[in-house]
Structure 1
Amino acid sequence: MAVSNKGLILKEYPKGLPNADKHFELVPRTIDIKNLNLGENEIVVRNIYLSLDPYVRFTLREPEPEYVSVDTLLEKRVSIGQVIIGVGVSEVVKTNNPNFKVGDLVYGPVGWEEYSHIKSDFAAIFSPINKESLKDIPLSYYASLLKMGGLTPYASLISIGKPKKGETIYVSAAASAIGLLVGQIAKIKGLKVVGSAGSDEKVDYLLNELKFDAAFNYKKTDLNKALSEYCPNGIDIYYENVGGQTLETVLNHCNQFSRIVVCGMISQYNLPFNEKYGVKNLEIIFLRSITMQGFIVSQYLGTDIQNEFEKDFTEWIKAGKIVYREKVIDGIENIAEGFVNLFDGRNIGRTIVKVSDY
């Protein structure tokens, strides 16, 4: 018997900021799970929580001849009419994979839909969720915090940033899902933490709830003056979430042998290739022996640093060392609006969508 499997498809490639009505469409569909033939190592999952992440904007680009694409999960473009792909928490409802049984809770790449038929290549990167842990930790945290959402800031800061006690770190977009965790990890490691955000409410959150050493509203404060004031001894680590002119300004304040961890450049995501900001002072990178490195979080899966992350974060959460905020949107019909709102600068923390009950 077929069941509902509504899914959000790409209706038109966004040029500039995505529009919920113009670029996306929630399509009524069905799936006959009982009679669906699975290939080797394939599974079918019922989606429970979906994480809304800015990187998905990369997959919604119209092909650009100037842009040389490489084959990574973040650069697999969605074609017109296809269901959009993200990550989330799901329950296995049918399996032809020896690593998963019906009823297992899993985390991995799924469609923005009610049920997802997972092919063997994607199934290989799914990870199980220990149901015993749900006694202490909400299931939603696995969509927002305890898998890639937390591994991203932890692994990149530790492996690329190489934080040392007493150093100064500046975090742009510091009230974002990634930024607020970077700042807290850095505080735990003994760094001076400076962050910027786009509203007074966010700055108050950074200072009074997350206990950043300093924070400022970049919309009201000149960035160059703010960094001179709050980072008088220069910046040892810059955690980059914004790009463009922000990166250009920060480079001027970076110390010798500083490290720049490039997680994202959200200011450039919705610009055509020929309108992206050209940073003019990149020579500072070699003049000051700066390390600037990007990453894809999947490169840390299955490594020792993932094991360290899971151990540390579980302990930190239980000990109250991590303050976290997630916004839960109820209903698959609200995915498009929730995704578009990621780019308006109002959200604090991570946005997830509850698709079904567990």
Structure 2
Amino acid sequence: MEPFTQKEIHLVNRPEGMPSKEDFEFREKELSSLQENEVLLKTLYLSVDPYMRGRMKDVKSYIAPFQLNEAITGGVLAEVIESRSASFKQGDIVTANLNWAEYNVANEHSVRKVDPSVAPITTTLGILGLTGLTAYFGLLDIGQPQPGETVVVSGAAGAVGSVVGQIAKIKGTKVVGIAGSDEKIDYLLNELGFDAAVNYKKDSFKEDLEKALPNGVDVYFDNVGGDVSDAVIEQLNNQARISLCGSISSYNTEGEDIGPRMQWKFIKTSSMMKGFTLGDYAQDFPTGAVQLAKWLAEGKLKYEETIVDGFENTPEAFFGLFKGTNIGKQLVKVAEPEFAKL
């Protein structure tokens, strides 16, 4: 290939509070010629995820922060345009953690081939990818739901939460979802089959939650934190389990996020709360992926995608995560494939 220029998205400021357009910049970069065992990839879809907000802070965490004036990285679904690898050919669909860019050059060992015959390719970034695996391991390993128990999911209409609730139903539990709009409540009840759903933005939230939980809470899958989680914790049963996946309510908070001291509730109910990141389960990914694909093929799992068109709209898609505009997985469609027959 001849070197050519394309665009990528850089982080140019570390946001204080809610990120804005001024924190991102589209910059042109020249891609160099392919070396042995490398592939040229055209981006088809980008995944935008809440955890990326944490990487915009220059603090120690389970994953290194984004560097200023460098491309943001995340889950990418791409098409092989040119290959100097024996493992990949032109037209292959692949996924990897790559730059937010129109094109990427990657080593063959850093990308994974996607089989378009299994399911729509976008599921690789959602229900059959890291999103689905996060729900699978966080619920089943930490929550360990048992038939007849009550499982509560916050952020229930989001990418992870919607999968958690459905897996909990497969396991024979009563599932109560928490979301932030009447549209999302309707989706949880009528599309995903949740037993109850509560809108946390209503003034009557605490009363509505208590009514939805006549038998208390045995398992809580927490994507939100903050006041929502305080209200759920008040309803814990003895031996309850809480799986801490995210705390999106505080990601854009300036200063410390200080709330009620809830330790007494865990002592009183002999409950357990455990945080996790998906990397904790890396060795078991194949097992989880096979089971998720099986449930999807059997019609036991459904999924929704909120897709924003256009690479130039990627920052807006990211902001939407914190405004609650997405149902299911938030994706950006960057381009159509050139060679793949999908």
Is it true that 1:55 corresponds to 2:51 in the alignment? yes
Amino acid at match of 1:109: N
Which of the numbers 137, 152, 162 marks the counterpart of 1:155?
A: 137
Pairwise CA distance, 1:95: 6.6
Q: How far does the alpha carbon of each residue in 1:184-208 deviate from its partner, in whole angstroms, 9 at most, with x for none?
A: 1111111100011111111111111
The alpha-carbon deviation at position 211 of structure 1 amounts to 1.2
Match status 1:101 vs 2:88 = yes
Q: What are the within-5 Å matches in structure 2 for residues 15-164 of structure 1?
A: 15-19=16-20, 21-34=21-34, 37=35, 44-61=40-57, 63=58, 69-70=60-61, 72-73=62-63, 76-92=64-80, 100-103=87-90, 104-118=92-106, 123=109, 126-129=111-114, 131=115, 134-164=116-146
Give the superposition deviation at 1:102. Answer: 3.9
Per the TM alignment, residue 42 of structure 1 is displaced from its structure 2 partner at its CA by 6.3
Q: What secondary structure, in the 3-state scheme, does the structure 2 residue paired with 1:275 have? A: coil
Where does residue 283 of structure 2 map in the other structure? 302
In structure 2, the partner of 1:331 is: 310
Provide structure 2 residue ranges, at least 5 long, that are not aligned to the other structure: 338-342
Structure 2 residue identity aligned to 1:219: K
1:197-248 deviation per Cα after TM superposition (whole angstroms, max 9, x unaligned): 1111111111111111001211114343223211111100001011122222
Say if 2:332 is the partner of 1:353: yes
Which stretch of the first structure deviates more once superposed, 317-326 or 160-169? 317-326
Amino acid at match of 1:176: G
Amino acid at match of 2:275: G
> What SS does the corresponding residue of 1:216 show, helix, strand or coil?
strand
Corresponding position of 2:340: none
In 2: Cα distance, 1:240 partner to 1:335 partner: 26
Instruction: Give the TM-score normalised by the residue count of structure 1.
Output: 0.86
Q: Which residue of 2 aligns with 1:340?
A: 319
Distance 1:107 1:279 in 2: 42
Distance in 2 separating the partners of 1:337 and 1:150: 24
Per the normalisation by structure 2, the TM-score is 0.90
Equivalence for 1:6: 7
Partner of 2:228: 246
1:219 corresponds to: 201
Are 1:245 and 1:277, in contact at CA under 8 Å, matched by a contact in 2? no
| TM-aligned CA deviation for residue 176 of structure 1 | 0.8
Judge conservation of contact 2:200–2:228 (CA < 8 Å) in 1.
no
> Which is further off, 223-232 or 138-147?
223-232
Q: What amino acid is aligned across from residue 49 of structure 2 in structure 1? A: D
Which deviations, in whole Å up to 9, do the C-alpha atoms of 1:308-337 show, x marking residues without a partner?
322222222222222211022222111111
Distance 2:5 2:336 in 1: 15
**One-letter amino acid of the structure 2 residue matched with residue 142 of structure 1:** T
**Stretch moving more, 24-33 or 145-154:** 24-33
Per the alignment, in what secondary structure is the counterpart of residue 177 of structure 2?
strand
RMSD: 2.2
C-alpha distance after superposition, 1:69-112 (max 9, x if no partner) = 14x33xx11122111111122344567878x4344433221111
CA distance in 2, matches of 1:299, 1:92: 30
Matches within 5 A, 1:195-206: 195-206=177-188
Q: Is 1:322 matched with 2:298? A: no
Counterpart residue type for residue 293 of structure 1? K
Residues 244, 279 of structure 1: 8 Å contact kept: no
Q: CA deviation at 1:167?
A: 0.5
The count of corresponding residues between Structure 1 and Structure 2 is 335
Aligned pair in 2 of structure 1 residues 279, 95: CA closer, same or farther (>3 Å)? farther
Contact in 2 for aligned 1:49/1:354 (Cα 8 Å): yes
Runs of 4+ aligned structure 1 residues displaced above 4 Å come to 41-44, 92-98
Identity of aligned residues (%): 37
Letter in 1 for 2:330: T
Q: Is the 8 A contact 2:305 2:328 kept in 1?
A: yes
Helix, strand or coil: the match of 1:33?
coil
Query: Does the CA contact (< 8 Å) of 1:174 and 1:183 recur in 2?
Result: yes
